[in-house]
Structure formats: structure tokens, C-alpha cells
Amino acid sequence: MGANAGSATEPPWLGVTLRHGLDPCATCDARSLSVCDALAGPDLDRLATIAVVMSVEIGQSFITEGDPADHFFNLTGGSAKLYKLLPDGRCQVTGFVQTGDFLGLAASTHYAFSAEALEPVQLCRFARGKFEALLRDCPAMERRLRQLASHELVMAQEQMLLLGRKSARERVASFLLSRSRGCAHAGTGERVLLPMTRTEIADYLGLTIETVSRTLSAFKTARLVAMHSPAELLVLDRKALDKLAAGGGKGHALT
């Protein structure tokens, strides 16, 4: 633990542990998954000198929308949600991030989103000024970040299509498929892990928790998926889900 329990000296880092590692980057397990992979040799050493290794407990936020964007982050473990709030509390989750993901691009002078740990999070924190200085000397990294931002733009536009034009069933199907990609299991179907709550899924898909729950139940009834626990399900009929996600099943029965 070792959290800085509520002391006024470090308000943004409640429930957070700092560990200044010696040369953490060279031996980082997450490096191959992340933008840090673009660096090597002395550049990597330099990155290590400006990296601050931290831990964040479940439920703790480590980026707050509207705060000065003083840091970049790189997740080295766990998962988190990114979200925006309206004054009355309505929430839009803009993305889920996990090991290897880089945070802080969607910011000008202030963060455009908040970030909160869904699972215990380990991350590296980089002071923005120092990191930008490093970028000035490392075109490869700058390039990599631009490509990353481009990729996130593609994802963001896909999400706009989902939020603006897809039905509830199409949204949930799209979500399950995006979560299943990569962890394919032959035979019984693909396992999908849902480390977030129904509320967070709803806030990601622009729906209510009840609609998400009902839609998942309908998928279960229609044998498109099987659910072991609320946090884990199996894709039984990927073809049907694909069709739904692409908008091909708008008027289907599905009970």
C-alpha cells in the first residue's frame, strides 16, 4: 500500500505508490507492447531517468479531466477506463486501456478526460516538459506517437459511428467482438473477459445499465453467447455477432 493518505501536499496521487526504479525501462516487460519500444540504447536510458514508476489501486483515478496536462503515462500493468463527465454526472467512457497503452495524447494544456483504475494498475509517469524534450531528440519516438494518435483517431471515429448510428444490440455486439479479438479459443468459443462493471459498459456504449443487461440476456437466450459469471462470457456464434455489429441485423427476431 504505502499510499499518501489524503495529505494536501500531493492531492492528485491519493492511493498511489511511487517507486523510483533504477533503469526500469531496459527490463520492462511492457516495453515490447508500448511506444517505448521505439527507443533503444542511450535514449532508453534517458527515458528511464525521467520515468516515475507508480501503482494505482482499484477505483482510484490518476488523471482528472480539466487538470493541467502535466504528465504522460504508460500502463505497464492492469487496466483502466477513460471517461468524460457532464456537470450533472452523466458519464461517457471514451475507452478502456491496458498494459502497454500510452495516455495523455488527448490533451492540449489540460486533460480532456479522466482515468480510473479498473484493476490494480502499474504505470510509468513522465513529466510532460521532460518528455517533450526527449521527443525533440528522438524522431523515432515522435513518429511512433503520431502513428499511435492516428490509430486512436481511427478507433474514435469507429466509436462515433457506434454511438451515433448503431442500435443497442449492434453496440453490444460490437463491444463484445472488440473485446474478443486477440484471445481466440478454438472449440467452445472465444472467451471474453469483462473487468469493468455493467455501468461502465453502458457508459462506454451510450446506453443504460439495464439495456446492456437485457441485451446480453437476449444474446444468451439466442445462443449467441454463454455467460459463466457477469465478468466472463463465451462467444458461441461469432458470425451472427459480426453481422449484428456491422449493422446487418437491424430487424431480426432475437425474441
Binding site for DNA (CB under 7 A): 167-169, 197-199, 206-214, 216-217, 227, 229-231
Which 8-state DSSP code applies to residue 251? Answer: T
User: Considering CB under 8 A, how many residues would be counted as binding a second copy?
Assistant: 44
Query: In terms of C-beta density within 10 A (0-12 exposed, 13-18 middle, 19 or more buried), how is residue 102 classed?
Result: buried
Select the binding partner of residue 178 from a second copy, DNA, none (C-beta < 5 to 8 A, by kind).
none
Residue with cell 439495456: 211
Identify whether the C-beta of residue 236 lies closer than 8 Å to the C-beta of residue 245.
Answer: no
Identify whether the C-beta of residue 193 lies closer than 8 Å to the C-beta of residue 179.
Answer: yes
The per-residue b/e assignment along 42-81, b for 16 or more CB within 10 angstroms, e otherwise, is ebbebbbebbbbbbbbeebbbbbbeeebbbbbbbbebbbb
Q: How far is the CB of 80 from DNA (least distance, A)?
A: 16
Q: Note whether 68 binds a second copy by CB under 8 A.
A: no
Q: What is the 3-state secondary structure (H, E, C) of 219-248?
A: HHHCCCEEEEECCEEEECCHHHHHHHHCCC
Identify whether the C-beta of residue 111 lies closer than 8 Å to the C-beta of residue 69.
Answer: yes
With CB under 8 A as the contact rule, which of the stretches 34-42, 176-184, 200-208, 231-239 interacts with a second copy?
200-208
Q: Note whether 72 binds a second copy by CB under 8 A.
A: no
Strands, DSSP E only, in 104-240? 114-117, 121-127, 190-193, 225-229, 232-235
Residues numbered 171 to 190 that lie near a second copy (CB under 8 A) are: none
Residue of the chain from 20, 185, 223, 250 that contacts a second copy (CB under 8 A) = 250
Q: Note whether 146 binds a second copy by CB under 8 A.
A: yes
Identify whether the C-beta of residue 84 lies closer than 8 Å to the C-beta of residue 91.
Answer: yes
Nearer to a second copy, 99 or 167 (CB): 167
With CB under 8 A as the contact rule, which of the stretches 29-37, 83-91, 181-189, 222-230 interacts with a second copy?
83-91
Q: How far is the CB of 229 from DNA (least distance, A)?
A: 4
* 3-state secondary structure (DSSP) of residue 178: helix
Q: Which residues 6+ apart lie within 8 Å of 7 measured at CB?
A: none
How far apart are the C-alpha atoms of 249 and 54, rounded to whole Å? 45
Select the binding partner of residue 92 from DNA, a second copy, none (C-beta < 5 to 8 A, by kind).
a second copy
Binding flags for a second copy, 155-174, as an x/- string (CB under 8 A):
-xxxxxx-xxxx--------
Select the binding partner of residue 208 from DNA, a second copy, none (C-beta < 5 to 8 A, by kind).
DNA
Nearer to a second copy, 26 or 246 (CB): 246
Q: How far is the CB of 144 from a second copy (least distance, A)?
A: 10
With CB under 8 A as the contact rule, which of the stretches 6-14, 39-47, 115-123, 201-209 interacts with a second copy?
201-209
Residue with cell 442500435: 167
Q: Which residues bind a second copy (CB under 8 A)?
A: 84, 86-88, 90-92, 94, 105-108, 112-113, 135-136, 139, 142-143, 145-146, 149-154, 156-161, 163-166, 203, 205-206, 246-248, 250
